[in-house]
Chain A
Amino acid sequence: MSNQKKRNFQIEAFKHRVLMDPKYADKTWEILKHAIHEIYNHNASGLSFEELYRNAYNMVLHKFGEKLYSGLVATMTGHLKDIAQSVEAAQGGSFLEELNRKWNDHNKALQMIRDILMYMDRTYIPSTQKTPVHELGLNLWKENVIYSSQIRTRLLNTLLELVHSERTGEVIDRGIMRNITKMLMDLGPSVYGQEFETHFLQVSAEFYRVESQKFIECCDCGDYLKKAERRLNEEMERVSHYLDSRTEKKITNVVEKEMIENHMLRLIHMENSGLVHMLCDDKYEDLSRMYNLFRRVTDGLSKIREVMTSHMRESGKQLVTDPERLKDPVEYVQRLLDEKDKYDKIINLAFVNDKSFQNALNSSFEYFINLNPRSPEFISLFVDDKLRKGLKGVSEDDVEVTLDKVMMLFRYLQEKDVFEKYYKQHLAKRLLSGKTVSDDAERSLIVKLKTECGYQFTSKLEGMFTDMKTSQDTMQGFYGCHPELSDGPTLTVQVLTTGSWPTQSSVTCNLPAEMSALCEKFRSFYLGTHTGRRLSWQTNMGTADLKATFGKGQKHELNVSTYQMCVLMLFNNADRLGYKEIEQATEIPASDLKRCLQSLALVKGRNVLRKEPMGKDIGDDDAFYVNDKFSSKLYKVKIGTVVAQKESEPEKQETRQRVEEDRKPQIEAAIVRILKSRKQLDHNNLIAEVTKQLQSRFLANPTEVKKRIESLIERDFLERDDSDRRLYRYLA
């Protein structure tokens, strides 16, 4: 606004103030100087603030600012020199107290002097670029008191000695420490740094270097970490009590470096107490302490992670390759789960669920589980075991937990298709033998598999469940049409859709006449309602309940397999049968027949047959009799088959072959999919992409991929580029 209205106006000179008493300035300054003395002598209450302010104002107004300012410097300096002397004279322990008391006095005096000289502070000092009164007071204190040769070193040594005393367990006056460090800070962060902090950090580093060396020689890892943690906490506490808060980072760095970083590897690898020992013994507290301390230093956590990873891999490798473990698949998987639980718990309790540790855990499991090619089979067997019997008396939640854990292991598998193959076989056996304990658990697992493997896989499993249900209805229909059959033996048929169920090389055995007549009736009933279908009997998968009367009249109901039934029925018409005779009559494949005879004659308490000669193995010349002395407390006797639960070597080969066979179309589909979108691709990239696409299912073998490419070229799906033979092109 004033810019717009430019007017000249004059300021009249202050005529009435021009004339001054020449002695005025001296007189006025004497008054103020006297007042400053009075203030330092604690006699301020007798002074008039108004008068002193007025005098200082007048001096500045009448151009005696310089006189006022230099007078102030001289007077204050004089007082501070006196103060320095009295501080220097203080004996021993009273040194800091005297310094502190004088500092407080000086601050109070300075405050009042500043108030009196407020006008000078506001006008004269900014215009002459002099130091403001308060800052001037601090500077003069610093120069005359703190930097006094008698005080400077003594102050530093006193402070450092007190810290040292406290570190060695003595109680010190923290209040005075706080006041003195606060004074240094008030004089400026650089004063605090130069006069105290730098030396403090140096001395501390030396102290902890010596102490950590002593500890590492005589303590085990856990104890050492406890001591280091305590020291760290002490230092932080010290800072909070009497040092500047910015010192915390610096002093903790010193402790971290001297006590942890310098001894990191030695601590981790300490014999009988280091990291591996802690992991083995589940020492959550020690592990947690190690994590929290090592986290503070560079590479601390990665060192822990490395050692933990190699330990997990090593012990995992031992577990999966131990020939003892291979004998019991359920135990094998249980061990894996226990191992997983163990490390989950450690990561949860001690490593605050650190993601990088979880990743290390996952990659380690992925590594060693796949070292054993039978892992997929065993995991499926474990599930089979749980679903057959293990879940009885276990709550639904626990079932879910167990199944979820198994799915975790499943995720680690590289050859997921192998697992699927076995899972299907095991499920089929469970369903057909009516051994499955909980339908809910079965279905819950299928839902889990669906999310992991996709609909394609589970649709077949669901088909198996549907077949079971339909078969029930079919059987009702069958007996509805044939009421006359209610007297004779009962036949229950499960009609399985080919494709949904694992294909079995079906070798039909000779059924007893009664049964085969019944089977024929069912066949004509079924084909009568479902034209165009073909039925074939899978006698290797059935079961039978037989009513038997033994020599002394004991009656039992025997629950046996179809093969066992065929064998036992033969003894309705004979007392003694040789192995060859049985084989001829039943046409059961030799390996199955031997197993079946073993379970009928050699299992204690279930031996409804007697073998001659006695002995574990079944020979071609052995003879079998009904065991008239058979007895059992129970009416119903279940005769299990001596099943090699785990697959035998040839079976394993066969499954493997089937898996390889199933992979072929999947590899081909992947090749075609990729080339269809890329139009053309060179050999190496194609292999890489195929491997990547199939990774979630199995690890594709490059040789196999190459064979599939050749086959696709033969069938005119692809062609090689004429000029570059490494290049493939998609043929629409």
Chain B
Amino acid sequence: NLPDAEEVVAITEASLSGDEVSHGNDSSLGMSWSKVLRVRTIQISSPILAEKSPFFYKLFSNVTRESKQQNVTLQIHDSEEAAVMDLLNFMYSNTLSRTTSAAVLDVLMAADKFEVMSCIRYCSRMLGLM
């Protein structure tokens, strides 16, 4: 019982920058000490994400704010951006475009964060072969 198949996920990138607290328009508590660098909006299928990742499944199905929103925001550190994009691609295609060990390691971190088991296994196997 997930919401619409096409979900808009806005990825907000923030950097943790010490005491530099942004007092911007973002009222959510979590944002209080980070600065939003840029917002990227992508159209993505929520059932696919939910199927691959318990995090996304719970994100869409719990009674929290997100379950009622069309646009769901995912806030990540700027250093994670490339890895998260790769992870989202992987969930659609089951392959990774960047195969350097550093890149795969970053994807592995992201996959672990969102519990995408298929990707965790994939990255581990790749790293084992290197």
A interface residue numbers (CB < 8 A to B): 1-2, 5, 7, 9, 11-12, 16-17, 19, 21, 24, 27, 31, 34, 44-55, 57, 112, 115, 118-119, 122
Tell me whether B55 is interfacial, beta carbon within 8 Å: yes
Tell me whether B37 is interfacial, beta carbon within 8 Å: no
Q: Is the CB of A48 within 8 A of B62?
A: no
Q: A51-B30, A119-B113, A122-B115 are in contact. Are A112 and B18 (CB under 8 A)?
A: no
- Looking at B44-52, B64-72, B88-96, the stretch in contact with chain A turns out to be B64-72
Q: Is the CB of B73 within 8 A of A50?
A: yes
Residue in contact with B33 in the complex, picked from A21, A51, A115, CB distance below 8 Å = A21
Known: A21-B33, A48-B30, A50-B66; 20 extra A-B contacts, CB below 8 A, are A12-B102, A19-B18, A21-B16, A21-B18, A27-B32, A31-B29, A44-B62, A44-B63, A45-B68, A46-B65, A48-B28, A49-B58, A49-B65, A49-B66, A49-B67, A51-B75, A53-B58, A54-B30, A57-B113, A118-B58
Q: Is the CB of A31 within 8 A of B130?
A: no
Measured CB to CB, the closest approach of chain A to B27, in angstroms, equals: 11
- Nearest first, the 4 closest Cβ-Cβ pairs linking A and B are A2-B128, A49-B64, A51-B30, A115-B58
Q: Is the CB of B129 within 8 A of A16?
A: no
- In the bound assembly, the distance between CA atoms of A34 and B75 in angstroms comes to 20
| Interface secondary structure of B, over-half rule | helix
Q: What A residues does B32 contact at CB under 8 A?
A: 27
Measured CB to CB, the closest approach of chain B to A376, in angstroms, equals: 83
Q: Is the CB of B54 within 8 A of A118?
A: yes
- CB contact list, B1-58 vs A, under 8 A: 16, 18-19, 28-30, 32-33, 54-55, 58
Q: What A residues does B79 contact at CB under 8 A?
A: 16-17
Q: What A residues does B115 contact at CB under 8 A?
A: 118-119, 122
Q: Is the CB of B55 within 8 A of A118?
A: yes
Q: A45-B65, A112-B63 are in contact. Are A51 and B128 (CB under 8 A)?
A: no
Residue in contact with B64 in the complex, picked from A19, A24, A45, A119, CB distance below 8 Å = A45
Q: A2-B129, A21-B33 are in contact. Are A50 and B59 (CB under 8 A)?
A: yes
Q: Is the CB of B28 within 8 A of A51?
A: yes
Which residue on B lies nearest to A16, using beta carbons?
B79
20 A-B Cβ contacts within 8 A?
A: A1-B129, A7-B130, A9-B130, A12-B102, A16-B77, A16-B79, A24-B33, A44-B64, A46-B65, A47-B65, A48-B73, A49-B58, A49-B62, A49-B66, A50-B66, A50-B74, A50-B75, A54-B30, A57-B113, A112-B64
- In the bound assembly, the distance between CA atoms of A9 and B65 in angstroms comes to 43
B interface residue numbers (CB < 8 A to A): 16, 18-19, 28-30, 32-33, 54-55, 58-59, 62-68, 72-75, 77, 79, 101-102, 105, 113, 115, 125, 127-130
- In the bound assembly, the distance between CA atoms of A1 and B30 in angstroms comes to 43
Q: What B residues does A34 contact at CB under 8 A?
A: 29
Q: What A residues does B29 contact at CB under 8 A?
A: 31, 34, 51
- In the bound assembly, the distance between CA atoms of A446 and B79 in angstroms comes to 104
Q: What B residues does A55 contact at CB under 8 A?
A: 30
Q: Is the CB of A11 within 8 A of B62?
A: no
- In the bound assembly, the distance between CA atoms of A31 and B28 in angstroms comes to 10
Q: What B residues does A9 contact at CB under 8 A?
A: 101, 127, 130
Q: Which one of B16, B19, B30, B67 has the greatest number of beta carbons of chain A within 10 Å?
A: B30
Which residue on B lies nearest to A51, using beta carbons?
B30
- In the bound assembly, the distance between CA atoms of A54 and B127 in angstroms comes to 26
Which residue on B lies nearest to A114, using beta carbons?
B58
Q: What B residues does A51 contact at CB under 8 A?
A: 28-30, 75
- In the bound assembly, the distance between CA atoms of A651 and B18 in angstroms comes to 130
Q: What B residues does A45 contact at CB under 8 A?
A: 63-65, 68
Q: Is the CB of B62 within 8 A of A115?
A: yes
Q: What A residues does B102 contact at CB under 8 A?
A: 12
Q: What B residues does A16 contact at CB under 8 A?
A: 77, 79
- In the bound assembly, the distance between CA atoms of A678 and B75 in angstroms comes to 100
Q: What A residues does B68 contact at CB under 8 A?
A: 45
Q: A21-B18, A31-B30, A47-B65 are in contact. Are A5 and B58 (CB under 8 A)?
A: no
Residue in contact with B75 in the complex, picked from A7, A12, A54, A115, CB distance below 8 Å = A54
Q: Is the CB of B66 within 8 A of A112?
A: no
Q: What B residues does A27 contact at CB under 8 A?
A: 32-33
- In the bound assembly, the distance between CA atoms of A452 and B75 in angstroms comes to 95
Q: What B residues does A48 contact at CB under 8 A?
A: 28, 30, 64-66, 73
